[in-house]
Chains A and B, each alone.
Chain A
Amino acid sequence: MATPKTRASSFSRNVPSTAAPQVPGVKSGPNGTLFLSSGISDLDKILGGGFPLGSLVVVMEDPEAPHHMLLLRNFMSQGLVLNQPLLYASPAKDPRGFLGTLPSPVSSKDDKPLNRDSEQEKGLRIAWQYKKYFGENQQNSNSQRDNKFEFCNEFDLRKPLQRQFLSGQRVECMSTQDSPDLAALHDRCATFLKQFFRTDGNISGAGRIAIQSFCAPQCTYFDKEWHVLSFIRSLRSMIRSSNAVVILSFPPSLLSPSFSKRLQHMADTLLSVRAIPDEDKDLAKLLTGYQDMIGLLSVHKVARINTQVPIILEAATFSIKLQKRKFLVLECLNQAPVDGSSGTSYATSGSCSVSSKGGSLDF
C-alpha cells in the first residue's frame, strides 16, 4: 500500500500523472491541470501546486502597503527566469522602470532558507490507514525538490534581475493610464495570448500577464466601472482558452462596494494583502515573530479547475516575512503562548452542574 497514487479521493478524476511535462516551468497536477509557479514556493504549496494555467488571479491591494508589488515581482521574475513571455501593464507612465526592481533568483542551492525535511517524517510511525495520504505528499515534495529549479525559484529581493532576462522579445510593457475604455489593453492582451492558444496536443509554452493597480485613480477609465467589468469578463474568456496565467491587482477600497464584489467574484484565485501596524504592543504579544512580519496575506478563493472538490485550507491568513531581508516567506500565524486557563467558562459550566446536581432533573 505504500505505492503512492495520484488519487487523493474518489471524487477526483483518475488522470494518471505523466512523467515530467515537456515544458520547463509547467507542472502537472491532479485532475489534468497544469500549474505555473507564483514565484513564492510557500504560496504554491498553499494553493495546491501553483496557479493553474488558464486562470485569473486577483490580488486585493491594501491602500496602506505595497505588498501586492512583492507578489507581482516574484511572479514576473519567475516567468522571465523560465523563459516565459511576459506582458506587464501598469498605470505608470513608464512601466519599464518597474522591471528594474524585479528580484534575481538565488544561484546556489546551499542558500535555500527552508528545508523540506521529509526524512524526519519517516521516523514517525504512521497508522496504516493514513500512510497512503502521507506517501503522496512526500512523493510530491521530493519530486518538487528535484525539479525545483525548473518550476519554482527562490528569489533574492535585494538583487535586481540580470539584464539578459529582460531582453525585448520576452517582455512587453504597457501603460494603462491614458486608455479611456481599456480597448487598447484588451487588444494587447488578445495579441499576446494568441501565441499560447490551447490545443489538444502538447503545450509549447506558457505565458504570463501581470496587471498592476488596475483601476488606479489616475487612470482615465477609473469611473467607468461597467467597462472595467466587461474587460475582465472578456479577459477571462481569452485566458480560459490559452496556456497563460493573468495576475491582476486592484485596490478594492477605491471602487464602489458592489463593483468590488463583482470583480472579486470573477477571480479564479483571490488573494488579499494587508498592512500591519508598526510597533503595536498588543500584536507583538499576540503573535510570535511579529518583529519580522511585514504584512498579512489572506487566501479567499483557490482556483479549482476540472474538479468539484474544494480546497479547504487549514488557515486562510498568513504572515508575510522577509527572511534575512532577502527571501519572501509565508508563514501561518502562530499565536504566542497565552496563559490558557479558561476560568470563566469553567465557572459557567460549574454552576450548571451545581444546579443539575441540586435539583432532581436529568436532561
Chain B
Amino acid sequence: MAESICRALRDGALEGEHAPALTIKDSIDAPLGFDVFAHVLAQLSSHILAGKSQSRGLVLVAFTRSPSFYVDLLKERGLEVNSSRKWIQILDCYSDPHGWKDRIMGQGKVDDATKEASGVSRLCKDVKDMDKLCSLAIELGKGLLGEGKGRFSFALDSVNEMLRYASVHSVARVLSDLRSHDLASCVFWLLHSDLLEDKVAAVFDYMSSMVASLESAIRASNGLRISLENLSLTEQNFRRAKFSIRFKRRNGRVRLMSEEVSIERSGITFSSVSTDGGTMGGSLLPKVQFNLQLSEKEQMDRAKVVLPFEHQGNGEPIEIYDGRRSLADKNNEAAGTMQMKDSSKVCLHCWCCYRITDVASNYSNGGIS
C-alpha cells in the first residue's frame, strides 16, 4: 500500500538504527516510476510541513529534472517552497553536472532556475565526485535544521543517472552513508531496473528496506512490444500498473503487498487488488502435491477398481489372479478389453496402460501368441 510506505518514511528511523530506505523501481513496461516518486515526495513534504513527520526537512538531489520543475510540482499540490521556515533544499545536479556551462559562459550565471527555485537550490558542478556530492547533501540538510535538533530526509531523483557518472560502489557508498548518518530520517530513490544489469539492480534491493516495484498490469500475449493488436495495451501501460511492495521487517520477515496504480488527469490513485495469497511460501519448501479433490472421471474409475483379495465385498465370488490364462479369463477378455480401453483413456500418464492396450489388441486380433 502506498500509504504504508509513506507512513514508514514519515515515522523515520529509530535510535541506533539505519534510516529506512525505499527503492522505487520501474521498467519500460510500466514507466510510472517518476509519478510514484513525485507522489511519495509530495506526501512526505506535506507531512514535513504539517509537522507530523520525524524529519524536519528534505534534501532533494535532482538529476533528471530541474529545480524549477520540482518547485512547480510541489506548488501544484499546495506545498509552498519558499515559506517562512526552510524545509526543502534541492541539490541541482541537472543544470550543469560537469561544470561545463560555467566554464564556457565564464562569469555569466547559469540561469536555468527561476527566482523561486534559486532560493532553495544549490548547484553542483561536479557530480562525478560522489563523496563531495554526499557531503554537500548532508551539509544542506544540516543547514535546514539550523540550530535546532532533528533529522532530515533525502530523496534521490534517479540512481541510473548517478550510475552514469560513477561506479556502483561509489553510488552504494553514498546511499549507505546517507542511510547510516545520525541525522538521517529516511532516504528514497528512483530506479529504472531494465537499464541496469541484474547484479546492479540487486545491489539497490540489498541496500533498501522497502522495495516498491511497478510491473505491467496487462501482460502482452506474445513477446512483441508494439504491434497493431497490442498498441492499445501498450498505451494502457502508460496509465496503469501493478504496484508491489516488499517490506523488510525488523523481525527478519518480509511483507509482501500489492496494489494497482493508475494515473489520471486528476492525479495518481492507488487501488487495492485482490491478492492470490503469498506465492513465495510454496517455492521455499519441497513441493508436496496432494490432490485431494478427485475429478469426476477419477471418481468413477475409483469405483471401478477391483480391490485385491479380501476387500472385494461386492457379492461376487472372489477373483484371485494367479498369473495364468484360464477359460474364465478368455470369456472376460472381451469385456476386459473394453474396460481397459476406457481406463487407458484416463490413465494417460501411466505408460504400462499404453503397453497393455497395444498388446491386448494384438491378442484379440490373434496376433502374438
A contact residues vs B (CB 8 Å cutoff): 63-67, 92-93, 177, 216-220, 222-223, 251, 253-256, 274-283, 286-287, 294-296, 317, 320, 333, 335, 338-344, 346-348, 350-363
Whether the Cβ atoms of A356 and B356 lie closer than 8 Å is: yes
Known contacts A63-B206, A353-B306, A358 near B333 by CB under 8 Å: yes
Interface status of B180 (Cβ within 8 A of chain A)? yes
Pull 17 A–B residue pairs with CB atoms less than 8 Å apart, ordered by A. Answer: A64-B254, A93-B180, A217-B168, A217-B169, A218-B175, A223-B167, A276-B281, A280-B278, A338-B290, A341-B292, A343-B294, A348-B350, A351-B353, A356-B352, A357-B319, A358-B332, A360-B363
Known contacts A277-B256, A278-B255, A359-B360, A350 near B302 by CB under 8 Å: yes
Q: Which residue of A lies closest to B281 (CB)?
A: A283
A254 to B198, CA, bound (A): 9
Which of A219, A281, A353 makes the CB contact (< 8 A) with B308?
Answer: A353
Known contacts A63-B206, A218-B169, A286-B285, A354 near B305 by CB under 8 Å: yes
Which of B177, B249, B325, B339 makes the CB contact (< 8 A) with A360?
Answer: B325
A283 to B256, CA, bound (A): 13
Whether the Cβ atoms of B169 and A344 lie closer than 8 Å is: no
Whether the Cβ atoms of A347 and B176 lie closer than 8 Å is: no
Whether the Cβ atoms of B319 and A296 lie closer than 8 Å is: no
Interface status of B78 (Cβ within 8 A of chain A)? no
Whether the Cβ atoms of A343 and B356 lie closer than 8 Å is: no
Taking CB atoms, residues of chain A closer than 8 Å to B305 are 347, 350-351, 353-354
Taking CB atoms, residues of chain A closer than 8 Å to B347 are 348, 351-352
Which of B168, B251, B277, B346 makes the CB contact (< 8 A) with A282?
Answer: B277
A220 to B256, CA, bound (A): 33
Known contacts A348-B350, A351-B350, A354-B339, A342 near B290 by CB under 8 Å: yes
Residue of B203, B252, B291, B363 ringed by the most chain A CB atoms within 10 A: B252
Q: How large is the interface on B (under 10, 10 to 19, 20 to 34, 35 or more residues)?
A: 35 or more
B contact residues vs A (CB 8 Å cutoff): 167-169, 172-173, 175-177, 180, 199, 202-203, 205-207, 246-249, 251-256, 277-278, 280-282, 284-285, 288, 290-292, 294, 298, 301-302, 304-306, 308, 319, 321, 323, 325, 329-330, 332-333, 335-337, 339-340, 343-344, 346-347, 349-350, 352-353, 356-357, 359-360, 363
Which of B254, B332, B333, B353 makes the CB contact (< 8 A) with A276?
Answer: B254
Known contacts A64-B254, A253-B202, A278-B253, A222 near B292 by CB under 8 Å: no
B324 CB to nearest A CB, Å: 8
Whether the Cβ atoms of A281 and B202 lie closer than 8 Å is: no
Residue of A92, A287, A344, A346 ringed by the most chain B CB atoms within 10 A: A344
Q: Which residue of A lies closest to B292 (CB)?
A: A339
Q: Which residue of A lies closest to B339 (CB)?
A: A358
Ranked 6 nearest A-B pairs via Cβ: A358-B336, A350-B305, A283-B281, A280-B278, A217-B172, A278-B253
B293 CB to nearest A CB, Å: 8
Taking CB atoms, residues of chain A closer than 8 Å to B353 are 351-352, 355
